Amino acid sequence: MPIGPIPGVGAVPSQVRPVGGQTPAAGFGDTLSKSLQSVSQLENQAGSAATSFATGEATSVHEVMTATTKSRLAVDALVAVRNRAVEAYQEIMRLQV
């Protein structure tokens, strides 16, 4: 006599269904992707500010320093998140099953 699966248990849905018509919250991958895009945008702004300052356009030193500092802080935060994710992965891999 074969035993069938329990209804509602077993397969993991490919997408999370919203409850009550709400939109699902962004996942870790979406958040990480948006963060990478934000860091990339800050780096591009810092690069363009430095280029416009070097070519003599109407960019002040303060704007260049602000843009490069924002970019550096964003990269530092991104590296810290990456390091924590790697540490968490390594800790999971050390767990004995």
Per-residue DSSP letter, 18: P
Label residues 32-47 b or e (16+ Cβ within 10 Å = b): eeeeeeebeebbebbe
**Full-model pTM:** 0.65
Q: Where are the domains of the chain?
A: 28-94
Question: What are the tens digits of pLDDT across the range 7-37?
Answer: 665 554 555 555 566 666 678 788 888 989 9
In 3D, which of 34, 33, 16 has the Cα closest to residue 25? 16
Question: What are the tens digits of pLDDT across the range 36-61?
Answer: 999 999 999 999 999 999 998 877 89
